[in-house]
Amino acid sequence: MRWRSSPLARRALVGGVALLLAACWDAPVRETLEVEILADGSASAELRVELDRPGEYGDDDGAAMRRRLERKARDLDTGSDSWIDRFDVEGCPRQGGAWRRDEGDLVEFRRSMRCETPELAFRVLDPAPVAVDVERERERAELVLQPLGGGPAGRRDRDRAEAEIDRWAGEVASYLNAAYALSARAARRPDLARDLWAEAMDAPSERPRDLSDADRALAAAVREGVDRTFGILRPRPGATETVDELVRNVFDPLPARLVVRLPADATANEGFEELGGSRYAVPQRSLYATWREVAGLWLAPDLLVEHVELGRAGRHDEISPAPFAAGDPRRAERAPGADEIAATLRALLERREPLRLAWRAPEPGKGGDDASVP
């Protein structure tokens, strides 16, 4: 692999469930936009596009996805991708870019610009249906993002997305019902709790004792529920997008995952995910991201989320039954039904509440920890 600069411009996992997640979890094209607000009142914006290699979709079923990746790489290389025009912002004269290839395939593309003000940097989002307001008064600054609509997808895609939400909710309901049954068994036999959950999660570091046929069946139902649920996210034969991408294109007003870096830690945060290092992300409105937000209403920890988060970080061998066996993970008297799950997901996907960050921002030259240094 190598980097080239322009003046302008899955990891191997262990266990059956882990192999499934490696094959289906991440979108083939992953776009992140990071806007940094600097202490001197200026700002920068950097786009990072990560692409799977087309060869990962080498069989006939992956031909459409392969063509999509080849077309995206070609458009980024030639400057005809829609992102390039978004960076044509007056007042942002300093621009740059870079790209990385793996055996000739474009696997990462970057585009950046330095702007006179944060408002100019956020114009890279145009024409997304979101209003951005940055205010500074004395030694306090505030950023407000107000969603005004959903994603760019049309009616047909929305109908497809609604059907997938219902299908996901049905599989999640079956999985949670199985997880509640296993939790009830573990509560009755605490001495078996670790072995029951180890059997359910295929924990690589665990060797559960011999269990009865009935106990193995309880664990298998949980494991199979995870498999079926995440099978929904695997690209279908002939598809050009994952179900997770479909849902995001319908409900998410932002064209990419948006991360905001502040010159200091936020003193107030409404709606952003904290990433550390004064970085904050807007929660994505996709099927899995929304489930991750609400899973704790019914199960905490949640085996679905544990598998995915460790798997995507390449740390699946660290999954352990210990947190599940330490206490009852059930957070409700009964497992929810599919209708309840679907309604909860839709409420989050359709939300229009503003997101807000505030931070201490001394005026340049006025001193303070966040003042710019000459």
For β-strands 2-6 and 43-51, DSSP reports them as unpaired
Whole-number pLDDT of residue 19 = 42
For residues 40 and 121, membership in a common domain is answered with: yes
Decide if 360 is inside a domain. no
C-beta of residue 256 within 8 angstroms of C-beta of residue 32: yes
pLDDT in tens, the chain (374 residues): 333 333 333 322 334 444 444 444 679 999 999 999 999 999 999 999 999 999 999 888 899 999 999 999 999 999 999 999 999 999 998 899 999 999 999 999 999 999 999 999 999 999 999 999 999 988 999 999 999 999 999 999 999 999 999 999 999 999 999 999 999 999 999 999 999 999 998 876 677 678 999 999 999 999 999 999 988 988 889 999 999 999 999 999 999 999 999 999 999 999 999 999 999 999 999 999 999 999 999 999 999 999 888 878 888 778 899 999 999 999 999 999 999 999 999 999 999 999 999 999 876 655 444 433 22
For residues 145 and 160, membership in a common domain is answered with: no
Q: How many domains does the chain have?
A: 2
Phi and psi dihedrals of 211, rounded to 5? -110, 160
Alpha carbons 174 and 178: distance in angstroms, whole number: 6
Spatial CB neighbours of 333, under 8 Å, sequence gap ≥ 6? none
For residues 76 and 37, membership in a common domain is answered with: yes
Whole-number pLDDT of residue 258 = 99
Q: Which two tokens stand for residue 217?
A: 């069946």
Beta bridge partners of 48: 32, 110
C-beta of residue 291 within 8 angstroms of C-beta of residue 244: no
Decide if 357 is inside a domain. no
For residues 65 and 111, membership in a common domain is answered with: yes
For residues 170 and 228, membership in a common domain is answered with: yes
Decide if 368 is inside a domain. no
Decide if 363 is inside a domain. no
For residues 194 and 57, membership in a common domain is answered with: no
Alpha carbons 345 and 165: distance in angstroms, whole number: 8
Decide if 38 is inside a domain. yes
Decide if 307 is inside a domain. yes
For residues 219 and 319, membership in a common domain is answered with: yes
Whole-number pLDDT of residue 249 = 98
pTM equals 0.87
Whole-number pLDDT of residue 205 = 66
For residues 138 and 170, membership in a common domain is answered with: no
Expressed as residue numbers, the domain containing 51 is: 2-153+254-286
For residues 202 and 60, membership in a common domain is answered with: no
For residues 162 and 105, membership in a common domain is answered with: no
The fraction of the chain above a pLDDT of 70, given in percent, is 89
Identity of the amino acid at 262: L
Decide if 248 is inside a domain. no
Decide if 296 is inside a domain. yes
For residues 74 and 197, membership in a common domain is answered with: no
C-beta of residue 233 within 8 angstroms of C-beta of residue 242: yes
For residues 300 and 212, membership in a common domain is answered with: yes
